[in-house]
Structure formats: structure tokens, C-alpha cells
């Protein structure tokens, strides 16, 4: 429902539109509107200008009062070279909805170059820097002061927003009608009051960029060039400025991805959080702000936001050319792929993933959230898994080794958790150590594990230094009670009676020619033993001696 004042303003405004530019219409209507709001009957019935009605009584310079600061500088704030020196109030002011209106004197600082003159440019033509007078409740540590440069008005008690002021009350109700075109009119909204308490158009938030309107959940919202102000159903005016405001503006403001702010900016570990209808903005300790909204925001909410341990966002969400979306946080990332949905990668697993090339690397994209198991955590990707445990560190198992690892039972199998990352040789073969074994891959023979006694032997003979090369078979049993694993350049044999031993090169070739472990020599009972130019391996039924000078092998019974 519109008030009489509003209807009159609208009628006048319609009459003006034909001959006015939009800019001049708006500025003209603002003045008329203020006059009507503060003094409708007088304005309509007496031959006076709108300006005279707006500025109230005592607006001429020769009437001796001090001018308003917004008339002088455009901001309802003490100008440079002055300080908040004292205040008085006018009770039951219409400008403050019946509460007191507070007038704060800005006295010139000693040594400043303010000189006495009359204000100009509006109906507020009161005195500037002329009256050597002080109310005295503020900045009492300053004894030296110059004249009142100008005065600031507020509906908020001065001692509440300025700690330098005391609450000693001084009253002058004769100033209750004093005003200026640069000040809000009758009974402004709480947002407008807050806005003018912070300087109005020349102050903290700058000029208005949109009219105040309904916000979220019964609250109100207004946008300015350097910030937004809003209320929520819980009451109180909240401000968004700085990087939070910049981020909100970049996100499209209330009509963008975030919608209207819905709650109180809250301090969180490492920064500040501001809730919106469709997401949040977080400001980190470095002062930078990032929003979390959309599909990432849905996942963020689902995992408990900051309770997830991901920390604050450190970048905006990014959509890649392959349709993936990712957003980084201090402790990880939320990653969304069209095929596998939204998943969280965090902590040391996240760092390992990034080290290995992220979504474009050997692991691919995450296909599950981080799983917490007894003693370790793991995150699955399209081409592998990263495992993290205090005892083994954070390791990735990928590609063909990952396939073999899973075939061998994965973390619950004989190998246990990985204790190193995959090692690639110049020849293209791959190996990886685990808690209880190793995995080996060559292009020729594929992937094979070494575990148990064979793994212990492999480590004892320093693996590839022994000349065996990589395993080329799984564990086979040529005869009951004995097993064998072949390698690129030899083999290992095992039985309970003989233990595990290996042969390489010419000796292995001769042993194989003689039937190997099922031949006449039986199982080896020693590893190759070098003595001078001779290398000897003993067996259950004899020995083979390689003379390296002649490259001949002699069998001994």
C-alpha cells in the first residue's frame, strides 16, 4: 500500500518525465520525495522550494548553525583534518522513527587548514569551520581543537559506534528539523540508517546501485557500488564489502548463482563464511574470497561443508574442456566428472593425485569419496587407487600393476599396502614394493607378484642386482612339495627341505636342460657361490660348476 507522500511523488514524477533525462528525473524526484516525506503539509500548502523544506530550520549561513558533513564532502563522515569531538541529540525525531537523532560534531584538528565559510550547492548553506565550540564527549584525550567543521547525523547512539565517545547526554531539540538533501528522509529503513551511519553515498559503501528490496527469508537487501547491505529474519543489518563483495558481484549478485545472502557472516577456522540462498562465500586468512555453489556446492553441503575437513576454498570452481568441474580447497578438492559424479579428494591423497598429474595423469578422475579403513585411507580413481597410512605413507597403485594388485587381493591380500610408488626402468618394465611383497611388470610377460619366501629371497639377494631380472611367471609347482618362479634370466626354487635358492644365466640353462627340479639333480640346496673363476651351485644330487674363463660347465656327483 502506498502512502499519500508516495502517491504525490509519483504524480509529480510522471509530470517531469516528459522533459527530463532519466538522471535529472531521478535526482529531482529524490529531492521532492525527501521534502514530502519530512514535511508534506508545509511543502504542499506554502510557497517554498523543495530544497528549503528538505533542509529544515536554520539552513541559511547567517543563522549561525554548522553545516552537515555530507553537504561539504558528500559523505556523512568527519572529513580529513577533523575528528569526532562530541555529540548531542534531538529527541523523538521523525528522521529516526521517533527515537533520538544524534548529531556528531567534527571539530578541526589543531594545525589543519580548514577556514570559515558558508556551505553551498544545496539548501544546507550553514557554516563550515566557523563555530569554535565543542560538545566534548568524544576524543577527550585531545585537548586542542579548532572550530566545528561540520556535523554528522545518525540514529545510532554515538558511543555505540565510536568507542571514543562517552554516553554523557546533551540535548538540543531545536535542531530536530535540521537536515540536508544528502541525508535520508523521514524514518528510513534500518538498512538506510546503517548506510548513512557509514557515510552514505560518499562513505564506506559508495552510491546506491539498486533500490532496497525484499531479500531472502523476509529480509531486505540493497546494493551499493562498494558493498551490499542486508537484513535477515533474525534482525540486524549485515554488510558485505571487500573481496567478499567483489566475489558476490562477480557471481552475478542476487540474480546470480548465489542468490541473496541469508545469514550472518561468521568467523570460521582460517577465515570468514557468508551463507547465501544457493551457496556460500568464504574469505581466507590471506583476504581472498571464493564462492562455493552449484554442483560443487551440493557436494559441499552433502559432506558437511567445513566439517568435512576440506578447509576453505582457495580457488573458484573450474570447468575443463572435457566437461569435468573441480574446485580446490586448502585440504583437497571436490571433483565432478560427467561419468562418475562428484567426489572429494583430500589431504595427502589429494597432494599425491596432483603430483601425479591430477585428472589428466596416470590415475584419472575420482570415482569414489575417500574411504576410511582400519589403518589406512584410500581413494579410488578410474585408473588406480591412492592409499595412505601412517606406516607406509601415501602411495598410488596404477595401471597394470593396479590390475595385478587387485587380482592378488589388494590391501587384504598377500601383498598388503604399497610402501613405495611404482618404479619404471629405462627398458619399460615396472615394479612396486608392498608391505609383504612386490609386483613386477614387463611388456613381454605381464604382471607377476613376489610374496612370502620368494619375496624374502629377492630382497636378500638385492633383487635385480642378482642378475635374475623380473619374474616372468607366477608360482608354479612342478612336483608336490616344491615350487618355482621363473625370471627373465633365471629362476627360484623352493621346498620345505631345501629352502629357496636361485640360479641365473648359463648355470640355469644347464640345470633346465638336465630336467630342472624334476631332473636327476633335484632341487638346488645353495645359491650360486663364486670362488675364483668358478661359480658353483649344489643340488640334492650333485652340483654344477661354471668355469667363467672357459665358459664350460662341469657336473659333479
Partner 1 sequence: MTTTLDGHGISIDLPAAWEGRLGVRRSPADTFDRETGVRPRSLAGALDRVAPAGNQGWSGERAQPLVHLANFPLPVDRGDFGSGAVDVMGSGGILVALIEYGAESAGTALFAEQGLPQPLPGQFDPNTLQRRISGQYGYQRFVTVAGRPFCVYIVIGSAAGLGPRTAQAREVLAGTRIESR
| Pick from 327, 376, 379: nearest CA to 353 | 379
Residues 6+ apart with CB under 8 A from 133: 105, 147, 148
In whole angstroms, what is the distance from residue 51 CA to residue 71 CA? 13
- CB atoms under 10 Å from CB of 370, counted, come to 22
Q: How far apart are CA 353 and CA 12, in angstroms?
A: 67
* Residue 13, Cβ density class (10 Å: 0-12 exposed, 13-18 middle, ≥19 buried): middle
Does residue 65 interact with partner 1 by CB under 8 A?
A: yes
**Smaller CB separation from partner 1, 40 or 201:** 40
Q: How far is the CB of 19 from partner 1 (least distance, A)?
A: 29
- In Å, how far are 399, 487, 528 from 553, measured between CA atoms? 42, 21, 13
Which of 130-138, 385-393, 476-484, 520-528 is the region at the interface with partner 1 (rule: CB under 8 A)? Answer: 130-138
Which residues between 501 and 520 bind partner 1 (CB under 8 A)? Answer: none
Furthest CA-CA distance within the chain:
136
For residue 418, give the nearest of 454, 447, 387 by alpha carbon.
387
CA distance 280 to 248: 9
The verdict on 267 binding partner 1 (CB under 8 A) reads no
Of 178 and 494, the one with the shorter C-beta distance to partner 1 is 178
* Grid coordinates belonging to 487: 625370471
End-to-end CA distance of the chain: 117
Pairwise CA distance, residues 356 & 545, whole Å: 48
Q: Which of 52, 60, 97, 414: binder of partner 1 (CB under 8 A)?
A: 97
Q: Which of 238, 246, 224 is nearest to 190 (CA)?
A: 238
- b/e 382-407 (16+ beta carbons within 10 angstroms → b): ebbbbbbbeebebbbbbbebbbbbee
The least distance separating partner 1 from the CB of residue 57, rounded to whole angstroms, comes to 9
Q: Is 37 in the site for partner 1 (CB under 8 A)?
A: yes
Q: Are strands 271-276 and 279-284 parallel, antiparallel or unpaired?
A: antiparallel
Which one of the spans 83-91, 286-294, 341-349, 536-544 is the region binding partner 1 (CB under 8 A)? 83-91
Residue that is written with C-alpha cell 661354471 in the block: 546
Which residue from 32, 50, 51, 53 is in contact with partner 1, where contact means CB under 8 A? Answer: 53
Q: Which is nearer to partner 1, 100 or 404 (CB)?
A: 100
With respect to partner 1, which residue has the nearer C-beta, 57 or 510?
57
3-state secondary structure of 258: coil
Q: Specify the residue, 175 or 308, whose C-beta has the smaller distance to partner 1.
A: 175
- Smallest Cα–Cα separation from 216: which of 276, 282, 301? 276
Residue whose C-alpha cell is 610377460: 445
Does the footprint of partner 1 cover residue 94 (CB under 8 A)? Answer: yes
- Which residue's CB is nearer to partner 1, number 63 or number 547? 63
Closest to 154 (Cα-Cα) out of 99, 206, 205:
99
- The answer to whether residue 140 forms part of the interface with partner 1 (CB under 8 A) is yes
| Minimum distance of partner 1 from residue 253's CB (angstroms) | 30
Q: Which is nearer to partner 1, 63 or 217 (CB)?
A: 63
* Contact status: 52 vs partner 1 (CB under 8 A): no
Q: Which of 13, 52, 142, 257 binds partner 1 (CB under 8 A)?
A: 142
CA 84 to chain centre: 39
68 or 455: whose CB is closer to partner 1? 68
Q: Is 248 in the site for partner 1 (CB under 8 A)?
A: no
Binding mask 148-177 for partner 1 (x = CB under 8 A): ---------x-xx-----xxxxxxxxxxxx
Residue from 83, 88, 290, 455 in contact with partner 1 (CB under 8 A):
88
Q: Which of 122, 125, 137, 538 binds partner 1 (CB under 8 A)?
A: 137
C-alpha distance from residue 151 to each of 76, 79, 80, 84, 129 (Å): 8, 10, 13, 9, 10
| Of the candidate residues 26, 48, 80, 91, the single one contacting partner 1 (CB under 8 A) | 91
Place of cell 591412492: 386
Q: Is 108 in the site for partner 1 (CB under 8 A)?
A: no
Please tell me whether residue 356 binds partner 1 under the rule CB under 8 A. Answer: no
Binding residues for partner 1, total number by CB under 8 A:
61
Q: Report the residue count for the chain.
A: 557
Among 10, 63, 217, 322, binds partner 1 (CB under 8 A): 63
Contact between 89 and partner 1 per CB under 8 A: yes
The answer to whether 119 and 102 are in contact (CB under 8 A) is no
Q: Is 82 one of the binding residues for partner 1 (CB under 8 A)?
A: no
Answer yes or no: are the C-beta atoms of 106 and 128 closer than 8 Å.
no
Identify residues 174-203 at the interface with partner 1 (CB under 8 A).
Answer: 174-177, 179, 186-187
Q: For residue 478, state whether it binds partner 1 (rule: CB under 8 A).
A: no
Binding partner 1 (rule: CB under 8 A), the pick from 127, 352, 380, 457 is 127
Candidates 50-58, 68-76, 517-525, 544-552: pick the segment binding partner 1 (CB under 8 A). Answer: 50-58
Q: In the 3-class helix/strand/coil scheme, how is 464-494 assigned residue by residue?
A: HHHCCCCECCCCEEEECCEEEEEECCEEEEE
By CB under 8 A, residue 100 contacts partner 1: yes
Nearest to 274 by CA among 287, 265, 286: 265
Is residue 116 at the binding interface for partner 1, with CB under 8 A as the rule? yes
Q: Which is nearer to partner 1, 42 or 534 (CB)?
A: 42
143 binds partner 1 (CB under 8 A): yes
For 462, the grid coordinates are: 638385492
User: Which of 24, 27, 49, 92 is in the footprint of partner 1 by CB under 8 A?
Assistant: 92
User: Applying CB under 8 A, which residues contact partner 1?
Assistant: 3, 5, 37-42, 53, 56, 58, 62-65, 88-89, 91-101, 116, 127, 130-137, 140-143, 147, 157, 159-160, 166-177, 179, 186-187
Amino acid at each position: 500500500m502506498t502512502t499519500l507522500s508516495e502517491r504525490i511523488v509519483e504524480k509529480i514524477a510522471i509530470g517531469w518525465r516528459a522533459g527530463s533525462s532519466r538522471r535529472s528525473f531521478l535526482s529531482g524526484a529524490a529531492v521532492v520525495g525527501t521534502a514530502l516525506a519530512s514535511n508534506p503539509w508545509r511543502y504542499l500548502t506554502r510557497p517554498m522550494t523543495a530544497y528549503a523544506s528538505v533542509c529544515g530550520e536554520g539552513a541559511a549561513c547567517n543563522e549561525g548553525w554548522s553545516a552537515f558533513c555530507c553537504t561539504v564532502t558528500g559523505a556523512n563522515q568527519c572529513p580529513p583534518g577533523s575528528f569526532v569531538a562530541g555529540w548531542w541529540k534531538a529527541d523523538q525525531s521523525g528522521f529516526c522513527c521517533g527515537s533520538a537523532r544524534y548529531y556528531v560534531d567534527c571539530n578541526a584538528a589543531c594545525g589543519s587548514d580548514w577556514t570559515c565559510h558558508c556551505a553551498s550547492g544545496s539548501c544546507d548553506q550553514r557554516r563550515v569551520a566557523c563555530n569554535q565550540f565543542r560538545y566534548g564527549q568524544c576524543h577527550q584525550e585531545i585537548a586542542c581543537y579548532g572550530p566545528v567543521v561540520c556535523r554528522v547525523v545518525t540514529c545510532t547512539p554515538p558511543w555505540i559506534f565510536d568507542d571514543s565517545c562517552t554516553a554523557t547526554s546533551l540535548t538540543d531539540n531545536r535542531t530536530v528539523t535540521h537536515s540536508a538533501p544528502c541525508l535520508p528522509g523521514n524514518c528510513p529503513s534500518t538498512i538506510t540508517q546503517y548506510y548513512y551511519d557509514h557515510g552514505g553515498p560518499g562513505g564506506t559503501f559508495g552510491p546506491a546501485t539498486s533500490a532496497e528490496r525484499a531479500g531472502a527469508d523476509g529480509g531486505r537487501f540493497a546494493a551499493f557500488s562498494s558493498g551490499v547491505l542486508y537484513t535477515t529474519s533474525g534482525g540486524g543489518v549485515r554488510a558485505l564489502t571487500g573481496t567478499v563483495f567483489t566475489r558476490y558481484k562477480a557471481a552475478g549478485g542476487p540474480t546470480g548463482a548465489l542468490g541473496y545472502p541469508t545469514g550472518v557472516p561468521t568467523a570460521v577456522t582460517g577465515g570468514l563464511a557468508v551463507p547465501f540462498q544457493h551457496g556460500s562465500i568464504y574469505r581466507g586468512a590471506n583476504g581472498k574470497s571464493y564462492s562455493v555453489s552449484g554442483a560443487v556446492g551440493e557436494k559441499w553441503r552433502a559432506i558437511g561443508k567445513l566439517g568435512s575437513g576440506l578447509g576453505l576454498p582457495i580457488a573458484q570452481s573450474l570447468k575443463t574442456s572435457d566437461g569435468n568441474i573441480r574446485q580446490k580447497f586448502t585440504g583437497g578438492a571436490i571433483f565432478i566428472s560427467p561419468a562418475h559424479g562428484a567426489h572429494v579428494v583430500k589431504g595427502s591423497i589429494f597432494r599425491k593425485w596432483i603430483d601425479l598429474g591430477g585428472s589428466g595423469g596416470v590415475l584419472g578422475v575420482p570415482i569414489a569419496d575417500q574411504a576410511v579403513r582400519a589403518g589406512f585411507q584410500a581413494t579410488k580413481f578410474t585408473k588406480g587407487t591412492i592409499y595412505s597410512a601412517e606406516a607406509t605413507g601415501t602411495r598410488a597403485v596404477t595401471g597394470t600393476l593396479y590390475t595385478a594388485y587387485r587380482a592378488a587381493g589388494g590391501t587384504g591380500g598377500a601383498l598388503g599396502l604399497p610402501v613405495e610408488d611404482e618404479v619404471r626402468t629405462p627398458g619399460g618394465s615396472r615394479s612396486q614394493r608392498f608391505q609383504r611383497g612386490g609386483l613386477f611388470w614387463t611388456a613381454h610377460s605381464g604382471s607377476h607378484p613376489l610374496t612370502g619366501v620368494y619375496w624374502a629371497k629377492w630382497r636378500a639377494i638385492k633383487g635385480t642386482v642378482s642378475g635374475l631380472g623380473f619374474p616372468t611367471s607366477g608360482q608354479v609347482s612342478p612336483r608336490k612339495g616344491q615350487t618355482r618362479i621363473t625370471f627373465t634370466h633365471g629362476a627360484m626354487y623352493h621346498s620345505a627341505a631345501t629352502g629357496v635358492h636361485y640360479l641365473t644365466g648359463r648355470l640355469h640353462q644347464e640345470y633346465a636342460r638336465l630336467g630342472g627340479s624334476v631332473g636327476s639333480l633335484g632341487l638346488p640346496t645353495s645359491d650360486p657361490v663364486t670362488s675364483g673363476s668358478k661359480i658353483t651351485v649344489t643340488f640334492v644330487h650333485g652340483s654344477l660348476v661354471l668355469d667363467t674363463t672357459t665358459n664350460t660347465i662341469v657336473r659333479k656327483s
